[in-house]
Structure 1
């Protein structure tokens, strides 16, 4: 049976190919996926660089988006409900130039599971502010960017 990371990688690839081609273009890879945390890497290469040789801020936004979104996908699927996911807002603080492969990490998995439970059957929109850190582990443990995205869920069932 494939590991959770392999399943999530497959799901991200399919979602990128069929729903949001920009995700597929950036070629994200799941490094770790648990109930509490997800870590996704986007490699710094020609297609993800800006004119200064660091990661383009649009690619950083894609990384933050999928990190929060795919941490919520599994609990939504497990609920068996028709819960829609959207991001209500997006805040980014760019602290350093990301000059290597960027790892996006979110530790809000348990809070997201609770949010899915709240949204299940309620028919009203429920929100939660996700915190996502971006680092370049090959260069430093320092955070290069911080993202705050408001995850918004609604049960359409």
Structure 2
């Protein structure tokens, strides 16, 4: 079973309802890139008339986490995944539709191969960039993922 945008959005509804209710949606996924979109609305606003940082973080994390899930599924092995660390920078008010893009799918495959070969946990950093409708970057978030073969 291939991981698709529609399957991930259904996953959000049942497993991450706060992201789903906030309007976070996967638009595109393949083995190297994931795009997630969210629109600034009343339900996800902050007191400064822009998108709450946590909603941006949910969308950004999903771009990276979906790619990790994709590669784990592709490996055919039982592998656990966990965010070990994260950091973010906010450079402009997030209003309108924001697209978060992660193009770091290539980083995951090597870590999965290494954890399968050694049985040791592996960590790697992935970046997600939030871009508004005018093509201007509004935020940049980095997530350190840890993967380990389940015993």
User: Taking structure 1 as the reference length, what is the TM-score of the superposition?
Assistant: 0.87
- Matched-pair contact (CA < 8 Å) for 2:81–2:146: yes
Task: Give 4+ residue runs of structure 1 displaced > 6 Å after superposition.
Answer: none
- Matched-pair contact (CA < 8 Å) for 1:90–1:150: yes
**Matching residue of 1:11:** 8
**Matching residue of 1:152:** 146
Counterparts of residues 2-41 of structure 1 (less than 5 Å): 7-14=4-11, 16-41=12-37
Q: Distance in 2 between matches of 1:65 and 1:135?
A: 15
Match of 2:96 among 94, 100, 112: 100
- Matched-pair contact (CA < 8 Å) for 1:84–1:156: yes
- Matched-pair contact (CA < 8 Å) for 2:51–2:93: yes
Unaligned runs of 5+ in 1: none
Shift of residue 121, structure 1, vs aligned partner: 4.6
- Matched-pair contact (CA < 8 Å) for 1:121–1:155: no
Q: Distance in 1 between matches of 2:23 and 2:136?
A: 23
How many equivalent pairs are there? 150
Summarize the Cα distance change of 1:103–1:67 in structure 2 as closer, same or farther, 3 Å threshold.
same
- Matched-pair contact (CA < 8 Å) for 1:104–1:135: yes
Q: Distance in 2 between matches of 1:91 and 1:131?
A: 10
Q: Distance in 1 between matches of 2:121 and 2:15?
A: 23
User: Taking structure 2 as the reference length, what is the TM-score of the superposition?
Assistant: 0.90
Q: Distance in 2 between matches of 1:115 and 1:76?
A: 10
Q: What's the RMSD between the two structures over aligned residues? A: 1.7
**Matching residue of 1:48:** 44
- Matched-pair contact (CA < 8 Å) for 2:39–2:95: no
Unaligned runs of 5+ in 2: none
- Matched-pair contact (CA < 8 Å) for 2:82–2:146: yes
